[in-house]
Amino acid sequence: MTRATACLVVVLPVVLSACGLTGKPASAIPGATAISTVPGLTFTCRLPVVQPLSAGAALFQTAFVDFPSRTVTIDEKGAFEQHNELYTSVALPHLTGLSWPSWDRTFSRWVPAERDAISPDGARYAYAIAGSDYPKTNLHPLVHLVDIGTGADTIIPLPALDPFATWAVASFTTEGIYLRKLGYEGTSPTDLWLLDPTTGSVQLAARESALGSPRAGGVWVNSLDPADAGALPDAYSGTLLPDEVIRQDLKSGAKVVWFYRPGKSVHLLGLDQSGHPFVLVAAGQASADTVELWLVSAPGSGQRLWSGSQASDLSALVGDAHAVWFSGPGGIFMYTPVAGFQKIPARTGQIAGPCS
């Protein structure tokens, strides 16, 4: 395995602590500059979001945030009905899936699947369910392959699993549908499998990579360097937390460490349009512990975007031609190389697709 140096060079005028340097602390999330005050952000697009609801029968509502006005428009066409664990669209053709919806630009409609579970051409999505004999056994698990345009549902049998174990869709790519196995209460095998949707065959794709979603021939994995004597223990389970982010090539199996911070908790948040990882680095698991957001441009070369606390809830990273978008505590956030990391005031929701 190739290991990059732990000393990452920061190129913005923020805290330069990685190599023992000092400087002005980076802004925490609550103090981020309002997007309207940043010069040069004149693009026009609509950002799809899913907003959780605290009252009523529905769990969420779908909406668009328009830019540059930041106006929020509720989209009634994104209504779904929930039956047990499945969501079914009210709009025709009816689409059923396991997840809160994502926006599919190909058919301009909401789809009950995570973005990684939608095919690259936006024409199909996949979800896996346990067999009717689950949880005592899981001898007949299935993948549903759904055509978004017609609603046609193709059912593909999967290999049987042990009791309480299930299959889950990791990513729908041009190579096929990557699957991972989920165990009971987090005890999951770590291998990644590839389903050929045409033949139904399932082959082992990579070991120790089940937590990542494949992209561009590789998979990104949170990992632990066994040589890190100061590795942080999980406050709940006692197991040691990951301290590095690795990219594993799916063909050769070669692993390269892109980011390493001994004595810290390191978590891959997602990738930008160019395949560069955004990484969260935490000093601990307490709410007051410092958390940093890094953009890593190459193995051992990174840029810290900000430092603060209460940031571990950042999620749903989506990159497009305008910006990289995040869902976060108390709002929506965006990053551009020119403006940096910014909060969009008074706007909340889970990012459901690119701004277009």
What local confidence, expressed as pLDDT, does residue 170 receive?
92
33 has pLDDT over 70 = no
Q: What is the pLDDT of residues 198-218, one digit of tens each?
A: 999 999 988 765 566 788 889
In sequence order, the 6+-apart residues with CB closer than 8 A to the CB of 31 are none
CB burial of 273-305 (b: ≥16 within 10 Å; e: otherwise) equals eeebbbbbbbbeeeeebbbbbbbbbebbbbbbb
What local confidence, expressed as pLDDT, does residue 186 receive?
52
What DSSP string runs through 102-156?
EEETTTTEEESS-GGGB-TTSSEEEEEE--TTTTT-BSS-EEEEEETTT--EEEE
Between residues 349 and 42, the one the model is more confident about:
349
Map residue 332 onto helix, strand or coil: strand
What local confidence, expressed as pLDDT, does residue 183 receive?
75
What local confidence, expressed as pLDDT, does residue 338 receive?
84
Q: What is the pLDDT of residues 89-119, one digit of tens each?
A: 999 999 999 999 999 999 999 999 999 999 9
Burial of 240 (0-12, 13-18, 19+ CB in 10 A): middle
What local confidence, expressed as pLDDT, does residue 346 receive?
65
Nearest partner of 42 among 273, 315, 322, judged by Cα = 322
311 has pLDDT over 80 = no
